Structures are given as C-alpha cells and as structure tokens.
Structure 1
C-alpha cells in the first residue's frame, strides 16, 4: 500500500485546517447577511410562509431518503474487496450524503432569510445605493454557501486521506457517490417542486387571469417562491458540492495511479488554493456606482480565477519534482516520460480555469438580456408564442454545440499535453476539473444570487410596499440572476464531463485490478472477450454507447413529464380556488397557499423516485447483462448525449426567461401585450428545461459513473473465470432492469389519474384555456 511521507501528511493536515477556516468564513458571511434590515411586517409574514414551506419540504425529503441511504450503505459493504476499505467506503458514503444534505439545507435556510433582506434594501434605499446593497446581500448569501461547499468538500477528502493514506481513493469512491446520489435526488425533487408551482402559477395567473407574476391573489405564489429555494438553492448547492467532491475523488484516484504520493496530495493543494481565492472573490465582488451587477460578478470571477491559476502553478513548481522518474510510487509506464510534472500539472489547472471562463462568456452571450440571441428570442414575440419557442430551441441547440466543442478542445489539449499517455491524460483532465473548481466558492455565490433576487422580487410584489424604482432594481437583479444561474449550470456540466471522463481511468483500473486479483487472462476471442472489449468497433460496445445516450434522453423526459403532471395538479387547484372563491380576485378572500404547497410537496417526493432509480439501476443492468466493455460504452454515450442535452435545456430556458424580461422592460409591446403573453409561454416551457431536467443531468452522469466503478469488480468476477456464475449475473441484470422500468411504468400509470380536487376529470379543463 502506498505510504505518505511526513511532509505530505503535514500538508494534508494544513489543508484540513484551511477547510475549517473556510467554514469559519462562511459563518462570518452568514452573520453579515442576517445583520441587514429585514423589512416591514407584511414582508416578514410572506417570508415566514416561504421559510416554513421550504423547511417542511426538505425535512420530508430527507426522511424519505434516509431509508434509501441505509440500504445503499449495506449494499456497498457487500461489494468485493478488503473489509476495512469496504466499511470505510460505506461510512464515507453516509458522510458524503450527509454533507450534501447539509449544504442543501444551509443554502435553503440562508436564502429564505436573505430574500427578505434584499427586498427590504430595495424598499428602503434609493438609486444606486439600494441596488448595490441588494446585490451585496444576495452575493454574500451565495458566498456563505460556497465557502461551506469548499470547507466540507476539502474536510471530507483530507480526513479520509489522513486516516486511510494509500487506500483513500477507494474509500473516497463512497464519499463521492453519497454526495452525487443525494444531490441528484435533491435536484430532481426540488426541480419538480419549483417548476410545478412556477408553471401552474404562470398559466393560471399571468396567462388566464392576466395578473402579475407574484400577485398575492394567485394561490401558487408562495409555493413558487418556496420552490426557488428547495430547487435552485438547496438543489443546486448540493449539486455543486457533489461536483466538487466527485472531481476531487477522480483526481485523487488517478493521481495515486499515475504520480504516486504527489498525485494523491497535489489535487488537495489545488483545491485548498481555491478556498483561499474564493474569499478574495467574494470580497471584491461589489457593484460600483451604476455598473451592471453582472459586470461586478464577472470581475470577481475572473480575478479570483486568474489568481488561483497563478498560485496553483507556484504550488506545482514548489511541491512537485522536475522529472516523473523522481516521483515516489509512480507507475513504470510514466517513469520514462520525458515531460516535467510541474509544468504539465500547472498547465492542466490553467486549462480548467480558462475553460470555466470561456463557458461563462459563451453562456452569458446566449442567455444575457443585452446579447443578440436572447434579444432575437424576444423579438420573435411579435409573431406569437410558436416563434418564441422555436427561436429559443434554436438558441439552445446552437449554444450546446459551442459549449461541447470548447470542452472537447480542452480534452484534446490535455491529451496532447500528456504526450500520448492515456493514464496521464486522464489525471490531467481531473486536475483541470480541480482547476475549474478553484472558483467554486464564487460559482455557488453566482448561482444563489439568482433565486434570492427572484424571491426578493416576489416578496416585494406580494407585500405591495416597494415603489416603482425599487421594483425596477429588483427586476434588474433578477435578470442578472437568470444569467448567472445559466452560467453556473454550464460550468457544472463542464465539471461533470471532466469528472466523468477522468473516472473512466478509475473504472479501467478497477477492471484491471479485478482481473489481476483473479489471476485470469481472458481469451483473445469469444463471448467473454467481447464483454471485456472497450473497442467502439465492437457491436456490443456500440450497443452500450446507444443505451447510454438513450438513458440521458429517457431521464430528461421523465423529469419533464413529472413536472407536467405536478403542474397540472397545481393548475386545477388554482383554477378551483378562483372559481369557488370570487373574493380572491377582489382581494376580499385570502387564497389557500398551504394547499398548493402541500400538493407540490407530495407530488415532487413521489415523482423523484423514478428518474433516481433509473440512474442507479441502468448501469447495473448494462454491466451485469452485457459486460464491462459495453458498460464503458454506456458511460461514453451518456457523457456525449448528456453534455449536449444539459446545455441545450439550460440555455434554451435561460434565453426564454430573459426574453420575457426584455419584453417586460417595455420592448416589443411591453407588459400585458400579446408579445408578453407569447414570452410567458416560452418561459413556462423553459422552466422545467433549465431548472429540472437540464441541471439534473450533471449529477446523473456522476452517479452512473460511480455506480459503474463500484460494480466493475463484481461484474468481472461473474464474467471471466471458467466457473463464473453467468446465471446469477444475468439474474442481477434482469432484476435491475425490472426495477428501473417498473418505476417508469408506475409513473406512467399515475398520469391519467390526475383529477381536480372537486372530482371533475382533468380532461374537462385543458391547460392553457383562457378564463
């Protein structure tokens, strides 16, 4: 087993201290946010309702997922391997899941307090000072969550390395799997909740009744604001935490395999540097005078990213030797490599930082309110909703190609940097992921900025205590938030691709180690050889590629279908309240907000199981049914389809949302015009695109990769030896496929059962009909 020297142990211990310092800084930012003024009694009443709804939902979700986590804990312990490592991996799974849940809850808790304070800043301040204060509160809210992401991620990884030393990568598989699995469930469940409420509120309130988006007469407004917090704040915070954790896990696994002791420690150094520059990024992100909030956020991101890359290069030249032959524990294939480990590592980190910056620019261009693509979508409103939808789809498709091309170029560059060594290239890809995430503190702050600003606008409108100038400030902040949310989704999917590509290495390592342990050399030809082949020319491997891409499409379809069903229930409920309580429209009767929140909660918790089970059991079915070669193809197909689908969904949705903002600012007819109604339809379609299906693909890729890494040894044991139990292997595959498709069938059977609460069949009242 690889042993860590005294110097490396001291460095890892210092990194653990940096992690604790990050958590302490998060507490400082939290106190700064809570110290701001919290508005009028009317604002507090609305904010309290949002807080209670969000807390109730997450508490119920965590109780639902607790049993699932216990089952996975037991299954991980049953996998082949050393007993101590298996136990450590199972415990690390619970720790990773717990950290992911904690990050999600923190994001929700603080955001539901910050939204009130941003609204209060707009209502009490004037001009640029009010906008600056609102932006400061919103960004530091995200900064607190971002520093918590950095702190818990670093602390978990450093602690495992200190305890398990050379076995740390195997144990950290559990840590990353726990973080990714819980984040996926939170992303899907929160996404279904928020978009069911949002779509239902928009269709009945804005389209049918002609009232403003956050009008208190709409029974779904509280649920909509609750959804912003459980989906965009809790879900995305957990998502970015798992991106951080899984990327770090991939880097440590490949670092140990390629560069020995130094490869196990250097990724931790890079991410610790990221924690330090995140502090700088949060502090320097301040709106100056009348400048755009987006410009201030870009400045903070780029400055912290460049400083992080420079410090990582310094660390590489100080810590790493000048020759691969001088690395302790390096594999024989790299010992003769004539490159400089310091240089290639520093450049790999730089590639990751540059990749984040380029994706930021591309996403900002395709979704920003001042850029041509989004303005083209807004202009299409003059000819109706159909052209708005078509234009937004075109923007999404085009932006997906450019983003995927940039990621592909980065992968090619890292391969060239490795001198053709596949293992070194995979490690450099993982390092690039770590470089990209040196800015994760700022990235999380950018993402949280959006829902906090959106909620603040809702609280202001429902309370009726913000003047026209304050309302415009909040509208501007919300538009900035739409763009920053799209940017962080783009960066998150880039980390997913880098981490998933890097995990190919650990997957191949798991397969080769299982073969070595068995002492079996498979035949060059035959059925077993085909099951082990990674060659894309093999028909059975190509089948795996097709199935992987298909799983991404199926997962996305299930998520959007779930939103459709849940939103339909909200539409009928809101219509019922308007129909049975005429006093709602005259403001004489208060809508039943809690009833809508309860419907969203129940539907989202029921619906999240189907896509979650698909993600967990699809790779099991493919791996045990077809072999480790087709399973590698399955992962490749999922990555290829996943990056394109995720960017398409996120950017289409972002463009539709900001196109609506452009019209609401007075262009192309302004509010309450036919063009405005057309953009509302586009925005409503884009809601589940950008906030449910699209971002959920990110943890989906990591979950499927980590499941594959974990089951690979068992697949080999049941496939290769002459006495292999093929009947048991096929039985496992069949059971996994039945579980996945059984969950899909169950969700489909629920679809026609949707009814209005008064018993009137759903088909008697089609969605979208004007009252």
Structure 2
C-alpha cells in the first residue's frame, strides 16, 4: 500500500497544446469505432433470416427482450436519480468537481446502458440469421455472422468507454481524475444491476425449462412444446448480451479511471494522456482482430478462427503500443512534467513492459480458461465421464474443477500485479501506475473479448430457433450444436478476463483510496505522523493486528459469499415459479405434448421479468451500503481491509463459479454429441442436472462479482473523505458516524430479510382445483 509520507495525487495543470491535440485525436478514434460498428451492423442485417417459422420465433424473442430491458431501465432510473444527488452531497475540491462528478455519473450509466442495449438489440436479430446461415451456407458463414455481431458490441464498448474518458479530460483537464470517479461509478453501478437482473432472468428460465422439459418430460432443450423456451432465449440476450456488454464496458471505464488518476501523479501531464493512447491503440487492434475472424475451410472448429483473431489483435497491440511509448514518452524520469516519480528508469520501457504484462495476462487467462472449459481438453472430458455414475459425481467433479482452476487463475493474476509492481523500482506511486497500465494493456484486447462473449448467446439462440422451428436438420443442426459449445467456452473466457480487470483496477484504486484519506487528513490540519491521524488505523499500511481492520477484512470476504448466495437463491426462487407454471400448462392445456396446442409463452416471460427486477434490489443495496456501514462504524483502516478481503475472496469465488458452470455445460454438450450413451441416456440426465446447478453459477453469481468489486471500491473512494472529516478535529462527530453506519446496516438487514421471506411454499393440491402454481410474490394459488 501507498505510505502517507509519499506525495499525494495533486491535480495536473491544464494540458499543453500538443497534449490537448492528442486527447482530441483519442476522441476522434473513439467515434471512428462507432462508425466501424455501423458497418458491421449493415453486414449482419444484410444476411438471410431463413424461413417464416424461424422469423416468427425470432420475433417473439425480440419482443420479450425489448420489453424486459425497458422495464429494467425504468426500475434502475430510480437508483440513478438517488445516486446523482448523493454524489452532489459528498465532499469534493469544489462545486465544479461535484457537479461534473454527478453529471458524468449519469453519462457513465447512460453509456453502459447504451452498450448493453445495442448488444441485445442486434443479438436478437442476428440469432435467426446465424441459424439461416448454418442451414443455407454452412459453418463458416454462420461463425462469421455470429462473431461480427459480437464485433458491433465490442466496438461500442471501446468507442463509448474511450470517448467518455476523453471528453472528461478535455472538459476538466487537471480536475479530470476526480470527475472520472463519477463516470466510472455510473458505469459500474448500472452494469452490476444489469448483470444481476439479467442473470436472474436468464437462469430462472433456463433452469425451469430444463427441469420440466428435459428431466420430467424427456423433450429437447428448445422444444416448442415447452412454455419456457421463449423466455430461455430471451434470457440469453438480457443476461449474456445486455448484462455482459454493460459489465465489460464498466470494466473498461473503471480501469481508465484508475489509470488516469494514478498517471497524473506518477507521470504528470504525460500520465494523463498516455493511458488514453493505449486503449486508442486497442480500438485499432480490435478492428484487426474482429475482421481476422473469418473462418477458413481448413479450420478444425470455430474456436480456431476466433483464437486467430484474438492472438493477432494481441500481437498488433504490443507493436503499436511500443511505437506510441517510444514516440510520446521521454527516455528519462527528468523529462516528465509535474510528476512525482523522479526515480531512475526509462519511462518508455516501464510503460511498455507494464502494458505487455497486461496483454500477457489476458492471453494466459484465455488459454487457461479454455483448458478448463473446452470440450477438447481433459477436464471437461473427465466431468463427462463421471456422468456414467450419476448426477452426484458430475456435480462433485465440476466443483473440484472450479476450485482448482480458481487457484491457477488467482496466481496468474497475482503474478501480473506483482510483476507490474516491481517495475516501480521502490516508488509505490509509480508501482501502482504500472499496475494500472497493465490493466490498460489488458483493455487493448477488450474489443475482441466482447465479441467473443456475444458470440456465445447468439449461437445459443440460433440453435434454439433452429430446434423450435423444425426447419434445420442434419449437418446444419450439428453446425449449430458445435457453435453453441464454442460459445460456452468463449463466454467462460470473457468472464475470466473480466475478473482479471476487476483485480487490476481494484489494486490500482487502492492508491486513489489512500490518497483520498491522506488529502482529507491534511485538510483537517494534521500531519500523517501525528497520533490523531494514527487513530484512523490507516498509516498507509493495513495492519490486521488491529482488531477493527481484521473485522473489516472478514466482512469484506463475507460480503462476497452473501452476495453470491443471494443471487443463486434468487434464481432458485424464480426458477421454482417457472417450473410450476410450465407444469400447469402441460397439465391444463390439452394438446401441448401432441403439438396441436400452443403454450402460453408470455406468462413465463412475465414471471421471469417481474421476479428478476424484484430480486436485483437486495444484491445492489448490499454492494453500495456495506462499504458505507463498515467505513463509518469501524473507520477508514477497516474499510481498506474490507476492500482487500472482498478482492481476494471475490477473485477466487468468481473464477470458481464461472469455470464450474462452464465445465458442466460443455460436459452436457459432450454427452449430447454421442458420448457415454448420448441424448436420452442416464448419463445425459446426470449432466443436465449438473448444468442446471451450474447455470446460476456461471451466468448470475459468478460474473456479477466483477462489477460488485468495482462498485465497492468506488463507493469507498467516494465516501473516504467524509469518514475522515467526521473522525478528526473539530468536525469529529461519532454520533453522526454511528447514525450513518446504523442506517446502512438497517438497509442491508431489511433488504436481506425481505429477500429471504420470499420462500417457495407449495400448498397441498385441493380437490377439483387443479395444480398449485406460484404467484410473483412467492405465495401459491390453485390454478
């Protein structure tokens, strides 16, 4: 951690003409990314939509996804309005910063929403085109359309993220780092809500559809006789497209926030500009990577083509960042303007190696995650083999795989952080900036990573539309099954890389958090070495021998567990409602199983929508209120320890949940491809059960931990000055601190209690009154 004796993050002066011009260039390149997205949209929309039946099914998915997102944004607008005024109330250097922080909070939230919406709207139109391409042209054309769809989302992510950061720097220059806190917080908060809400929706529908359709009725996954199939396909889009796109956008935005804050201190003006030049390079290399994914006849699978684009993009990033570093940065620390890093070393080499570390981490995680979740490698094959002995062994093997893979991923991320830290040569400020630069290096691959993620749900939906329509058979159907398996792997990879960005950003933000404390102490008129300042338990070192700090550490770790438990439990409750509704329709609507009657798809979509929007409130309040409760009750030292506990536990938990779920899903695909008895066998049923357990792991709780960590970091950064102000000197007011902490604790307790009381309770079936079904509040009624 940064010691209080080091210089604080002083505001940079106004940018000089050359630097200002470079920031303008960054903004122009960011807008050019949106133009590339427009070109890709036209290419995707020009593809064939297939048969009339396929168009009809795709239309139902589009309608459900659009309706859900509209209702979600209405709900989230309330949170955004409250957060806007709370940010205005928090201390800042001046009212210009306060207003800018609040306004750009809304802009960050808005850009996150736009990224998610664009991703979903194109995905629900591309899925039918991918199915049609598999039917009419084969695997290569289908792969290309699916990945180009993801490319649109990737271009919006890097374009809007970079444009937002550049606009803040242009408008606020030296005060930009403080205003960027609001921009990053808006992106992170909205992404977390979208991730949780979309994840609950998609997995409630998926689990409910599987448990009744596959397990009880023995019908295929996307059989049109299952009332939950449309909701399942809608969920893929609102969870994996809209939710993950917003998630990766906020990763991009928050990483830039950390890099620009620390860059200003370490490198002065150059540190404010260089972190923008690196992701600008990423925009250019993302275009290269996306267009490089053009399947060839000799490719073994779609994954080979995708890997080719990813590695080409990563290699191009290294070359172009080297050009930028040596052309822009001076060759010695003495050449930096207004910098605190005055040690020995070559800034060009330090910056370049830092960025390379981030790119290497991205590539290594891509390979490691692929190994543990791809059907081509031993881990998933071993999980598939355990299906021969039943569902219990499938679940045990998947859990053990996830636990083991989490260790390797954490060590890999830790090695990246420590490697960047060593580049600082003894200056903690410079070391933290190197960590932030490693994060921006990882961001150079984000455009391709987002494309890989969107590829997954588009392929999944394409297979669902093909199966429901009955118009895709033989080799074309097998093409879509293979693409779906590849999509499971790409989704797991993106989740691994997303959590890596969370750790790098959180580590870098520790420097910003400490500086906020240091500046607040100085403003109260105390020196860092005074005994009064020491009462803060935060002398730049998190001393866990202090019981308050140790308690903070434990609470931070515990919050990750509670957050994950709430998310998984929410899926369980919502899935229970879906199960009873699908059972009711099979029992009460004559002709569904015979295919002569149409299920009431809309009722299941409505259940998933209402339950997911209701359930996302509790995890969201936990993420925002827990840091406030800990900080105002136990102090800033305990709050710093809280963040350390949350980061460490969150990293392991997120990778464990994502990789276990991905392995279970692909083990099921392995059996469906004909291994161990194939579809309909006991082994198949065992893997279906494993997959239903893994669904909320990999698509709800696991990926939501990524924005959770960053929301908690940014909330802590924003409230730290207020905690110090109420802890020292004439402004010290333990009573007010206690009231704030008590209010936060009560809000958390009330939200958790309200969530837990919504249990599933099924009344006994009453004579002549049909089958019991659940209403949206968790109660039951006779259908």
- Give TM-score, length-normalised by structure 2: 0.95
1:308-333 deviations in Å (ceiling 9; x for gaps): 012112111111111112211111xx
Q: In the alignment, what sits opposite 2:244?
A: 236
Whether the 8 Å CA contact 1:530–1:538 is kept in 2: the answer is no
Q: 1:518 aligned to 2:527?
A: no
Q: In the alignment, what sits opposite 2:54?
A: 43
Q: In the alignment, what sits opposite 1:56?
A: 67
SS of corresponding position for 1:532: coil
1:528-568 deviations in Å (ceiling 9; x for gaps): 61543522332211111111010000000000000000000
Q: 1:477 aligned to 2:483?
A: yes
Q: 1:683 aligned to 2:691?
A: yes
1:275-314 deviations in Å (ceiling 9; x for gaps): 0001100111111114111111111101111110121121
How far is 1:582 from its partner? 3.5
Query: 2:570 & 2:468 partners in 1: Cα distance?
Result: 28
Q: In the alignment, what sits opposite 1:621?
A: 629
Q: In the alignment, what sits opposite 1:489?
A: 495
Distance 1:758 1:421, change over 3 A: farther
Distance 1:603 1:591, change over 3 A: same
1:52-71 deviations in Å (ceiling 9; x for gaps): 00000000000011111011
Q: 1:102 aligned to 2:114?
A: yes
Whether the 8 Å CA contact 1:569–1:754 is kept in 2: the answer is no
Query: 2:771 & 2:256 partners in 1: Cα distance?
Result: 52
Distance 1:113 1:347, change over 3 A: same
How far is 1:467 from its partner? 1.2
Q: For 1:89-238, what aligned pairs fall within 5 Å after superposition?
A: 89-125=101-137, 130-238=138-246
Q: In the alignment, what sits opposite 2:389?
A: 383
The one of 643, 648, 652 equivalent to 2:656 is 648
1:1-32 deviations in Å (ceiling 9; x for gaps): 52211110000000000011001110100111
Q: In the alignment, what sits opposite 2:447?
A: 441
Whether the 8 Å CA contact 2:533–2:728 is kept in 1: the answer is no
1:425-476 deviations in Å (ceiling 9; x for gaps): 1111111111001011100000000000000000000000001111100000
Query: 1:5 & 1:487 partners in 2: Cα distance?
Result: 41
Query: 1:761 & 1:737 partners in 2: Cα distance?
Result: 35
1:138-157 deviations in Å (ceiling 9; x for gaps): 00000011001111011100
Moved more, 713-722 or 531-540: 531-540
Q: 1:79 aligned to 2:90?
A: yes
Whether the 8 Å CA contact 2:576–2:760 is kept in 1: the answer is no
Q: In the alignment, what sits opposite 1:462?
A: 468
1:585-624 deviations in Å (ceiling 9; x for gaps): 0011100000000000000000000000000000000111
1:82-129 deviations in Å (ceiling 9; x for gaps): 10000000000000000000011101100000001001111222xxxx
Moved more, 746-755 or 433-442: 746-755
Q: In the alignment, what sits opposite 1:767?
A: none
Moved more, 717-726 or 225-234: 717-726
Query: 1:32 & 1:62 partners in 2: Cα distance?
Result: 29
Q: 1:577 aligned to 2:588?
A: no
Q: 1:314 aligned to 2:323?
A: yes
Q: 1:329 aligned to 2:338?
A: yes
1:700-719 deviations in Å (ceiling 9; x for gaps): 00000000000010000001
Whether the 8 Å CA contact 2:260–2:272 is kept in 1: the answer is yes
Q: In the alignment, what sits opposite 1:18?
A: 29
Query: 2:531 & 2:697 partners in 1: Cα distance?
Result: 45
Q: In the alignment, what sits opposite 1:342?
A: 348
Q: How many residues align?
A: 757
Q: In the alignment, what sits opposite 2:780?
A: none
Whether the 8 Å CA contact 1:528–1:720 is kept in 2: the answer is no
SS of corresponding position for 1:277: helix
The one of 607, 612, 616 equivalent to 1:608 is 616
Whether the 8 Å CA contact 1:180–1:702 is kept in 2: the answer is yes
Whether the 8 Å CA contact 1:528–1:719 is kept in 2: the answer is no
Q: In the alignment, what sits opposite 1:563?
A: 571
Distance 1:544 1:328, change over 3 A: same
Query: 2:655 & 2:322 partners in 1: Cα distance?
Result: 30
Whether the 8 Å CA contact 1:531–1:626 is kept in 2: the answer is no
Query: 1:592 & 1:512 partners in 2: Cα distance?
Result: 60
How far is 1:422 from its partner? 1.4
How far is 1:570 from its partner? 0.2
| Gaps in structure 2 of 5+ consecutive residues | 1-10, 776-783
Moved more, 496-505 or 406-415: 406-415
Q: 1:300 aligned to 2:312?
A: no
Whether the 8 Å CA contact 2:131–2:465 is kept in 1: the answer is yes
Query: 1:376 & 1:231 partners in 2: Cα distance?
Result: 29
Q: In the alignment, what sits opposite 1:698?
A: 706
The one of 418, 423, 433 equivalent to 2:424 is 418
| Gaps in structure 1 of 5+ consecutive residues | 764-771
SS of corresponding position for 1:584: coil
Whether the 8 Å CA contact 1:105–1:234 is kept in 2: the answer is yes
The one of 29, 38, 46 equivalent to 1:27 is 38
Provide the aligned C-alpha RMSD in A.
Answer: 1.5
Q: For 1:525-604, what aligned pairs fall within 5 Å after superposition?
A: 529-533=535-539, 534-604=542-612
1:633-680 deviations in Å (ceiling 9; x for gaps): 000000000000000000000000000010001001110000000000
Query: 1:189 & 1:618 partners in 2: Cα distance?
Result: 20
Query: 2:703 & 2:762 partners in 1: Cα distance?
Result: 27
Q: In the alignment, what sits opposite 1:631?
A: 639
- Give TM-score, length-normalised by structure 1: 0.97
Whether the 8 Å CA contact 1:239–1:699 is kept in 2: the answer is yes
How far is 1:345 from its partner? 0.4
Whether the 8 Å CA contact 1:415–1:421 is kept in 2: the answer is no
Whether the 8 Å CA contact 2:537–2:638 is kept in 1: the answer is yes
